[in-house]
Amino acid sequence: MREILTGYWGKYKNSLILTPIFVLLESVVTLALPTLMSNIVDVGVAGGDRAYIIRCGILMTLLALVSLAAGFLSTWHASRASNGFGSNLRVAMFHHIQEFSFGDIDRFSTASLVTRTTSDVRQLQNSVQMMMRTFIQAPFQLIVAVVIVIGYSWKLALIYLIAVPVLFLGVISVMRFVDKLFTIVQQKLDAMNADIQENLIAIRVVKAFVRQRYEREKFKKANDDLTRANLRAVGVIIAMTPMATIILNAVTLCLYWFGGRMVATGEIQSGQLLAVISYLTQIMFSVMMFSMVLMQYTRSRACGKRIAEVLDTVPDIRSKEDAPARTVAHDHGSVVFENVGFRYSKTGTGEEVLRDISFSAAPGETVAIVGGTGSGKSSLVNLIPRFYDVTEGRILVDGVDVRDYRIEDLRAAVGMVLQNNVLFTGTIRENLLWGKEDATDAELEAALRAAQAWELVADRPDGLDTMIHQGGTNVSGGQKQRLCISRAMLKRPAILILDDSTSAVDSDTEARIRESFKRELKDTTVFIIAQRISSVVGADKILVLDDGRIESIGTHDELMRVSPIYRDIYNSQVKEALSNG
């Protein structure tokens, strides 16, 4: 928490320095006003000195204007510094999250990372803004006001010296209890955000299955849980108000009681008693503001811990510090798996997902991977670009262990079309340029034609500048897959991974896409995960996975002879095709 509060001010440090200066100026002026009022009563009114009253009145007006200006400037600089701090912190978190491995993201969850980067940072930012003013103003005004009151009457000052510690003890007691409650609040907020995110992503499925009522009830439960957690925390804080009110009223009553007696005996003047009561308001206001800041700090501390968890997380997948720059040439994308084992250690059960995986793929070869659901197909290809790291054995790309590459060099050599095709909000052109930032329109057209997606552009009035909605919701599943394939082909990678990326494309179109691979990417090592046997028949090498192990390796003809699993898949699909006519 301390490192967070000291490390993210950047160019806003000047406002961080100016804020306390203006706060102190405002406090000094505010503390001077009750004394001037006391003088007006005890000197000007008592002596009938109208000129003195006017002079003091003018001085009080000028001081009030100075206080107003200092208050404005301190608030503005506190706001500037805290917003700058929040901005820098969000940028730091976002940049750090970009370095996370898939395992790190799985551990936190997407919804939690969104909450931590937005809501938690906002809470911390608000606390910083309050603390910049109140942590200086409240103690300063409290101490100086008590000293001034002692100067008027040490007997009346005793009332303050008894009341203030009592109020602070109450605040500290509440803080210790409410800390855990605010942690629960943020966890409930994570859960609610996860429900919202999941619902909006899958809204078409929800409507297709008429599950709106179920989703509403699920959201209501998450929202009610958050509301109850908030009310429990707020309920504890609300208890502060009656406690402070009782103490304030008791102190005021004591001041009037004892102060009135002292005025009657001449021990203190009436104007001085008014000043003491005015300082009472300032002191109790300072204590209350300080208490509220402590409460806000309690909540922000819970948020700060969650933010620190993100910033302190060392990504699972990192480049070695001494890793040299390496470029994998287009025709050098050989891949070798040597006794590879893998388990999802952070988010899974810890059981092995892949065991004893050994095979090789030469540059230009097409390697297909088939197997049942949960056999480890996607896990296997995710190890090549180091989305996850192997737990046993090693993987070589162009003869070098993937862990010895700089991550950006390794992934620059790998093109991927993931199982869940992702398109970003923007034009078709902007989405394709992810593959090659400086690609010309001619290159974009060639990639689209190769992926059989050119008609998607040619048939639209805006062509390459046709807008794609968030997630590609305004294009079909097959069109989305072909656009993603175009993006990967535009990269002209040394290794291309297609994770069930033609499942929404008809067989004829898929065959033309495979032909374009042979023509356009003849030196690229291609890995294909597919459910249809027709997608893998022409592969140079087919891996049959079963429960995380390689059951057989070979061509289609070889596997039809030696692999019962492959034969079963083939025969079941042939029968299905025949039954469908």
CA distance 333 to 414: 9
Res 144: pLDDT: 87
- Confidence band of 4 (pLDDT split at 50, 70, 90): low
What single letter denotes the amino acid at residue 124?
L
CA distance 289 to 579: 77
More confident residue, 284 or 119: 119
Q: Is the CB of residue 326 less than 8 Å from the CB of residue 406?
A: yes
- Confidence band of 579 (pLDDT split at 50, 70, 90): low
> Mean pLDDT throughout 64-85?
92
More confident residue, 138 or 549: 549
pLDDT in tens, 415-449: 988 877 788 888 999 999 998 899 999 999 999 99
Residue 417, SS3?
strand
Q: Is the CB of residue 481 less than 8 Å from the CB of residue 546?
A: no
- Confidence band of 544 (pLDDT split at 50, 70, 90): very high
C-beta atoms surrounding 466 within 10 Å: 16
Write out the two tokens for 410: 């390794």
Sign of the Cα torsion 534, 529, 377, 557 reads positive
Res 347: pLDDT: 52
Q: Which residues contact 191 (CB under 8 A, 6 or more apart)?
A: 111, 222, 225, 226
Res 578: pLDDT: 54
Q: Is the CB of residue 345 less than 8 Å from the CB of residue 103?
A: yes
CA distance 259 to 277: 9
Q: Which residues contact 238 (CB under 8 A, 6 or more apart)?
A: none
- Confidence band of 457 (pLDDT split at 50, 70, 90): confident
The alpha-carbon radius of gyration of the chain (Å, integer) is 35
> Mean pLDDT throughout 341-352?
72
Q: Which one, of 85, 81, 83, 74, lies nearest residue 14 by Cα?
A: 81
CA distance 548 to 527: 17
The yes-or-no verdict on residue 471 having pLDDT over 90 is no
Res 406: pLDDT: 92
DSSP 153: -
pLDDT in tens, 106-117: 888 888 888 899
CA distance 229 to 183: 10
The rounded percent of the chain whose pLDDT value lies above 70 is 94
pLDDT in tens, 362-419: 999 999 999 888 888 989 999 999 989 999 999 999 999 999 999 999 999 999 888 7
> Mean pLDDT throughout 164-186?
74
Sign of the Cα torsion 410, 338, 518, 560 reads negative
More confident residue, 304 or 180: 304
The yes-or-no verdict on residue 577 having pLDDT over 60 is no
The yes-or-no verdict on residue 283 having pLDDT over 80 is no
Q: How many helices and strands, by DSSP H and E, does the chain display?
A: 21, 12
What are the backbone angles phi and psi of residue 453, rounded to the nearest 5°? -120, 5
Write out the two tokens for 417: 């079309």
Mean pLDDT over the full length of the chain: 85
Q: In what order do the strands lie in the sheet with 352-361?
A: 352-361, 335-343, 392-397, 400-401
Res 265: pLDDT: 83
CA distance 450 to 432: 13
123, 221, 349, 484 from 406: Cα distances, Å:
37, 46, 30, 25
The yes-or-no verdict on residue 576 having pLDDT over 70 is no
> Mean pLDDT throughout 446-469?
88
- Confidence band of 360 (pLDDT split at 50, 70, 90): very high
Q: Give strand pairing partners of 396.
A: 336, 401
| pTM score of the predicted model | 0.74
Write out the two tokens for 276: 């003491």
Res 3: pLDDT: 61
The yes-or-no verdict on residue 191 having pLDDT over 60 is yes
- Confidence band of 350 (pLDDT split at 50, 70, 90): low
Max Cα-Cα span within the chain: 119
Write out the two tokens for 581: 């006519």
The yes-or-no verdict on residue 207 having pLDDT over 80 is no
Write out the two tokens for 464: 């390459």
The yes-or-no verdict on residue 153 having pLDDT over 90 is no
pLDDT in tens, 29-43: 988 888 888 888 888
Q: Which one, of 545, 538, 547, 548, lies nearest residue 569 by Cα?
A: 545
- C-alpha count within 13 angstroms, C-beta hemisphere, residue 535: 26
What are the backbone angles phi and psi of residue 356, rounded to the nearest 5°? 55, 50
What single letter denotes the amino acid at residue 436?
K
